[in-house]
Amino acid sequence: MTTPDLNSDEFPPCRTQPGQVDSPGLTSQNPNLQNKPPIQANSTPTEAPPQAQKSFVNVVNSQASDSSFPTSMLHSYLAGAPPAPMGIRTESQGLPKIQFSVEETERLSEHYKFAIIGKFSHGFPPYRNMHRLLSTLKLKEPFTVTMINNRYALINLKNEADFTKLWTQRLWHIDGFPMRTFKWTPSFHPQEESSLAPVWIRFPSLPAHLFQKDALHAIARLVGNPLKLDEPTLFQSRLMAVRVCVEVDLATKLVDEFVIGIGTDEVVQKSGI
């Protein structure tokens, strides 16, 4: 095997100048390099000045001033004013405990004051159809439906009329599935059925002048929370008896007898269910 002569014309010498590539078949791709001065062997690179450390708040504020930074994302970095303190931290059974007062519970529950629990014991319609199917009940205002589990739905209504309509009937059929209704309370638990229920009671032989809504509600409150009057009572087309739907707690003894004072007279009245 013969060694090629590198000094022959077949292998021309490669000469390089600053900013040039002088090699067969190769050309410089960057014309700006042609005028670049050569690098001196004894030159030392200039160090960049140290950058000041920015705090987290400065970084976020600089991003906030940039119009390209979405302002909606600021909420994930900067919280607003802290909420007012709520609850009392204590211990119970050796465990940490947070105790909410009655007033705090009432305030937190205000959003659900007209909420109904719908219970499906024998299957339920597809969730995506629930709102549409409940809309066929012709409620007066918009409402929301949220599934609690595969048997219970939370129906949050906006007014007392819609609430009374859904609750007093007690049993509805939604797309062929029976749905029983219960009043939502802060103590609601899916494993415990509420003892609150609407019941119709009768007051026989009331004087005609007491067939007024405010008077009848006052009388009905002796038994429970009045919800509605039946039409013959409301329009005074039947005076033999009053029928009122009231909310009662079935876990307690119902009031079935009471006294009505009319001026100087007293009348013992019985409430029939």
Q: What is the dihedral of CA 30, 36, 38, 44, to 10 degrees?
A: -110
Which among 134, 110, 132 is positioned nearest to 120, based on CA atoms? 134
| pLDDT tens, N- to C-terminus, the chain (273 residues) | 555 555 555 545 545 444 444 444 444 444 454 555 555 545 555 565 666 565 655 654 555 455 454 555 555 555 567 778 899 999 999 999 999 999 999 999 999 999 999 999 888 888 888 888 888 888 999 999 999 998 999 999 999 999 999 998 888 888 888 999 999 999 998 888 888 899 999 998 888 899 999 999 999 999 999 999 999 998 888 888 899 999 999 899 988 889 999 888 888 888 877
Q: What is the CA radius of gyration of the chain?
A: 41
- Cβ–Cβ < 8 Å for 243, 201: yes
* 35, 152, 195, 196 from 247: Cα distances, Å: 96, 21, 10, 7
Model pLDDT, residue 246 = 93
Looking at residue 100, what DSSP letter applies? -
State pLDDT tens for residues 185-212: 999 988 888 888 999 999 988 888 999 9
In which element (H, E) is residue 246 found?
Answer: strand 241-249
- Beta-strand relationship, 144-147 and 171-174: unpaired
Q: State how far the Cα of 238 lies from the Cα of 174, in Å rounded to an integer.
A: 34
- Beta-ladder partners of 179: 172
Model pLDDT, residue 19 = 46
Q: In this structure, how many other beta carbons lie within 10 angstroms of the beta carbon of residue 21?
A: 14
- Beta-strand relationship, 152-156 and 177-183: unpaired
**Buried residues in 42-51 as b, exposed as e (16+ CB within 10 A):** eeeeeeeeee
**Using DSSP, how many helices (H) and how many strands (E) does the chain show?**
6, 12
- Cβ–Cβ < 8 Å for 224, 202: no
User: Tokens 């009331």 appear where?
Assistant: 206
Model pLDDT, residue 22 = 45
Q: State how far the Cα of 234 lies from the Cα of 257, in Å rounded to an integer.
A: 23
Beta strands in 93-149, from DSSP E residues, in sequence order: 95-99, 115-119, 144-147
State pLDDT tens for residues 158-170: 999 999 999 988 8
* 11, 48, 62 from 51: Cα distances, Å: 52, 9, 16
Report the SS3 class of residue 32.
Answer: helix
